[in-house]
Structure 1
Amino acid sequence: MPLIIMCGYPCSGKTQRTKQLKLYLEQNSGRKVHVVGDDTLALDRNAVYADSQKEKDARGALKAEVERKVNKDDIVILDSLNYIKGYRYELFCLIKHTQTPHCLVYCLTSPEVSSKWNAQRDVSEQYSQEIFDALVLRFEDPDSRNRWDSPLFTIHQDDNLPFEDITDALLKRKAPKQNQSTQSQPLSSTNFLYELDRVTQEVLMVIFNAQKTSVSGDPITIPGATEKIEIPGNINMAEMRKLRRQFISYTKSHPTEDCGQITNMFVQYLNKSLH
């Protein structure tokens, strides 16, 4: 149900704090705790953060995994840098849509301390100095005045975690209200949601299969649609799934009376979003 977003420089103690939180919450909240992070997805940090597209794909994969794990009963901890303000806002929109509380745990260290801790790691787990410096330079500090960064728990290297306060923020605080645009309206037919999920998934499968044999830019024929799709070469599976989730969210709020039009609507949405 609730989401804890870890945040901080590379090697600022986020994973150690995550382990402490997981142990405490499992022992005291009676809930299962899922950890999602760079390690759980086996990301090669230096390779990912050296390439902007790979980093974007990695953030998309982490967000998608969080979305899969979030439910009404369990707690999810996202153990990653989460250093981009816009990305933290995306995560905030996700928890608004799922109607669950969240909080941000900011592991605050100086660049010098984090660099020292990085050097103490096994060589295979270290950030290169170039990547480390670039990430520190790009880091966007969380601000509790922003809704997506609040409630914010700032933890210095010698601090103890405020376990009770974090637990209260997750379990005793109301979830943020949905915007009108994200609230689900009454569906126009009993099988609309099923058809929406099925049809959009089938369209993506057609696209993914076609990409294996087609040249970038070739128009792809979608059964049941009057338009073809032309996929740019730099669009990957994670991006397409993100567009699918956005389309489903919008269409649930603006359902059509004719389920047979879902394929056309989704194809038109993809063409508009991709070009």
Structure 2
Amino acid sequence: MALVTITGYPSSGKSTRASQIKAYLDTKLAADEYDGPKLTVEILSDDGLNLPRSAYNDSRSEKPARGALFTSMQRQMAADKILIVDSLNYIKGFRYQMYCAAREMKLRVCTVFVVASPEVAREWNIDRQDGCFYETETFDNLLMRYEEPSSMVRWDSPLFTIFWTDADIPGEGIWDALTKGVVKPPNAASLSVAKAPTDALHTLEQTTASIASHLFSEASGSGGKVLLSLPSSSPFPSEPLKVELNLLPRTITLAELQRLKRQFVTIHKKAITLGSTEKGLVDWSEESVASKFCTFLEEHLV
């Protein structure tokens, strides 16, 4: 349904604001006038994942901690849930990664920027009684590296800013963003890759080799329309595979056909092994491969 990204300085009051947001959303969902889908509100945090503050002491420990947070976020996102991610989320690239994951799930998103001055955040960090404080060097380093969100970029918007002096949260604005906001479709960065069938490589090799062989045998050199009837590699072929080419009047050598065949196979192998990001399904049938290879030959046998 929706993803709320909480971001802010360390010890700036993010968890407090996340709890306030959850309480507000729970109240709205339980209200008699609410007639929307049944939703739950959950908070995902470093504490909930047992990630210690010391994980941010150096990059070697921070990277797997961030990975654990992102993996858990992907696992918990759902169409019937509002998920609040309560963590530093201080890197623009990481917030963008979260945004793409939400778009792939077709969720609404918003970002909440919890603001406290460095002096206030430092004082709150020192005064923490729960043991969840940052080492002084780590705290200063995180402050220096913090990348503020901006409403001008799509992955941080809509953006809601809450100052440490604010008693309340902009609950109504957050509610509208999560329940009425535009659900953006997945973009190229978040589309699932369509994989080729397991026999695609075999079909590619056999079909192109058969066309090259039959074309060398039947092309007269006079040009014009050439009709080839090829044996199908299908275990239950209904009829031979028929393809047609229009060639210029010239002599075609076997070496030339083999070279073009290798080029065509090399180009399409990458799509088979790595997948394709083309819109729609990619057809790897004998007929489709044969048609594409014939077009390729017509363009290069000039």
Corresponding residue number in structure 2 for 1:41: 49
Q: Is the 8 A contact 1:185 1:252 kept in 2?
A: no
Measure, in 1, the Cα distance between the counterparts of 2:275 and 2:194. 14
Corresponding residue number in structure 1 for 2:79: 72
- CA apart distance, 1:124: 2.1
- 1:51-110 deviation per Cα after TM superposition (whole angstroms, max 9, x unaligned): 212211111111111111111111000000000000001011111111111100000111
Q: Is the 8 A contact 2:102 2:109 kept in 1?
A: yes
Corresponding residue number in structure 2 for 1:22: 22
Corresponding residue number in structure 1 for 2:103: 96
Residue 56 (structure 1) aligned to one of 59, 63, 71: 63
- CA apart distance, 1:23: 1.3
Return the letter of the residue paired with 1:97.
Answer: E
Name the SS for the 1:42 alignment partner. coil
Q: Is the 8 A contact 2:195 2:276 kept in 1?
A: no
Name the SS for the 1:114 alignment partner. helix
Name the SS for the 2:185 alignment partner. coil
Q: Is the 8 A contact 1:21 1:163 kept in 2?
A: yes
- 1:88-142 deviation per Cα after TM superposition (whole angstroms, max 9, x unaligned): 0101111111111110000011110000111110272211111100000000010
Return the letter of the residue paired with 1:28.
Answer: K
Name structure 2 gaps, 5 residues minimum: 31-38, 198-273, 286-302
Q: Is the 8 A contact 2:100 2:189 kept in 1?
A: no
Question: Taking structure 1 as reference, are residues 181 and 9 closer, same or farther at Cα in structure 2, changes over 3 Å only?
Answer: closer
Question: Taking structure 1 as reference, are residues 182 and 108 closer, same or farther at Cα in structure 2, changes over 3 Å only?
Answer: closer
Corresponding residue number in structure 1 for 2:10: 10
Corresponding residue number in structure 2 for 1:234: none
Measure, in 1, the Cα distance between the counterparts of 2:141 and 2:87. 16
Query: Is 1:133 paired with 2:163?
Result: no
Name the SS for the 2:83 alignment partner. strand
Measure, in 2, the Cα distance between the counterparts of 1:249 and 1:135. 39
Task: Tell which structure's C-alpha radius of gyration is larger.
Answer: 2
Measure, in 2, the Cα distance between the counterparts of 1:83 and 1:249. 33
- 1:225-275 deviation per Cα after TM superposition (whole angstroms, max 9, x unaligned): xxxxxxxxxxxxxxxxxxxxxx899699767869xxxxxxxxxxxxxxxxx
Name the SS for the 2:143 alignment partner. helix
Measure, in 2, the Cα distance between the counterparts of 1:168 and 1:176. 15
Return the letter of the residue paired with 1:162.
Answer: P
Corresponding residue number in structure 1 for 2:112: 105
Residue 89 (structure 2) aligned to one of 74, 82, 93: 82
Return the letter of the residue paired with 1:132.
Answer: F
Name structure 1 gaps, 5 residues minimum: 190-246, 259-275
Corresponding residue number in structure 1 for 2:122: 115
Measure, in 1, the Cα distance between the counterparts of 2:276 and 2:110. 24
**% same residue:** 41
Q: Is the 8 A contact 1:2 1:100 kept in 2?
A: yes
Measure, in 1, the Cα distance between the counterparts of 2:126 and 2:75. 34
Measure, in 1, the Cα distance between the counterparts of 2:276 and 2:23. 34
